[in-house]
Amino acid sequence: MKICVCLDKKNGMMFFGKRQSQDAVQRERFLSLVGSNKLWMSAYSAKLFGDLPNIVVDENYNANAGSDDYCFVEDQPFDISKCSTIVIYKWNRQYQADKSFTVNLKAEGFKKISTQDFTGSSHDKITEEIYERA
């Protein structure tokens, strides 16, 4: 499976059960990566993406997603051992966080294959990093 996470400067993901930020350009960019593949997510995350035909809303997406499927990770736990690709979007700001992305990508066997900065709708700079398991 392939996962996507959105992080602040210190790898924060959420604060008091709410996403720290959101960006329409980031979502469009991510959806272009997903293409026609299935995109799994929680009901909480689905509110961001609207009614797209390839979205699967399932609170247990980590267990049910296939190897070529994408998962948008925000509020649900995930198992990094099943991941072949990780797409990280980093906001150029730091927010308060009580849930963070704590995976040591190098120790888990991931290698960065690309990085690109772009201007979002709510952030002057968003960095997209794509990692694949070596």
Tokens of 44: 């909480």
pLDDT at 14 over 90: yes
Per-residue pLDDT at 77: 84
Nearest one of 60, 55, 26 to 38, comparing CA atoms: 55
Average pLDDT, the chain: 95
41-97 residue pLDDT tens:
999 999 999 899 999 999 999 899 999 999 999 998 888 998 999 999 999 999 999
119-130 pLDDT, tens digit per residue, is 999 999 999 999
pTM above 0.85, yes or no: yes
Count Cβ atoms below 10 Å from residue 106 Cβ, excluding itself: 11
pLDDT at 78: 87
Phi and psi at 110, nearest 5°, equal -100, 145
Whether pLDDT at 7 is above 90: yes
The H-or-E segment that residue 120 falls in is none
Per-residue pLDDT tens digits for 19-41:
999 999 999 999 999 999 999 99
